[in-house]
Amino acid sequence: MSVPDDLLVDVTGLAAELASTEPPAVLDVRWRLVGPPGRTDYLAGHLPGAVFVDLDAELSGPPGAGGRHPLPDPAALQRVLRAAGVRTGRPVVVYDGGDGMAAARAWWTLRWAGHRQVRVLDGGFPAWAGAGLPVVTEAPSPTPGDMTVRPGGMPVLDAGSAAEVASDGVLVDVRAAARYRGESEPVDPVAGHIPGAVNVPATDYVGVDGLLPAADSLRARFAEVGVRPGVRVGAYCGSGVTAAQAVLVLHRAGYPEAALYVGSWSHWITDPDRPVATGAEPGDPA
């Protein structure tokens, strides 16, 4: 099974690219579910040339019936990306505060929008700063980009197709086990999971440093819940951020067809007629 080589870049590789005559566009997408906004971190120090893009306000639509982080309006996203200097045919690198979740959602969103040359900085800002590489506070003024947003570049699940994948494929719920089983729910008003979904918490496949494991180990972990060639696979979480990282991981493991339920659990529970399961599922690993 082939492993794509266009998903990640390490700090050494990115430093060399930034010193070249044609550096990639760099987007800082640091984000927290709760706490100070990522822009605060950006202003305190960021990679040279990096432009801050807000995951909540610019890479997602307004929260509501579509979930907490629904798809952005294509025209609005296009304005944001052009203002950030994103150009057709020019590579983009995205990074976050180190856990890889926001960067993966930015990676997914740009690819959904039709930009194929997008990579995640492995380890994010902490890996860059930890390597002693330059950190600046000046905000750049990038030359406006020309990217045209063309939605449809990545497979997307809605509630109905997510239920189908849970029934005849593998729908992976990447939230913490207690949330999946319905034992606790610190964010959304309803606890539990989509019936038939299997639980692979993000902590199972991403280290605390945000670095992604080798493809073989990722493939083995997802094989435990039935992910294999020819089987339809999708991922969801609370609002489609952590699950975007799962899609990135599945790409790395050799499953580029993995689909994201963008609305995820926060969308599923907006309809009281949709079923909610609690406890473990038969497909969950012991």
Q: Give the residue numbers marked as catalytic.
A: 237
Position of tokens 């990679």? 47
For residue 203, the cross-strand partners are: none
CA 241 to chain centre: 5
Q: Is 23 exposed, middle or buried (0-12, 13-18, 19+ CB in 10 A)?
A: middle
Separation between Cα atoms, residue 194 and residue 205, nearest integer Å: 21
End-to-end CA distance of the chain: 27
> Residue 65 contacts by C-beta under 8 Å, 6 or more apart in sequence?
267, 270
Residue 84, CA distances (Å) to 53, 62, 78 in order: 8, 20, 10
DSSP one-letter string for 93-105: EEE-SSSSHHHHH
Are 123 and 98 contacting, i.e. CB atoms less than 8 angstroms apart? yes
For residue 52, the cross-strand partners are: 28
Q: Which of 161, 249, 238 is nearest to 206 (CA)?
A: 249
Are 174 and 242 contacting, i.e. CB atoms less than 8 angstroms apart? yes
Six token digits for residue 78: 């296009």
CA 1 to chain centre: 23
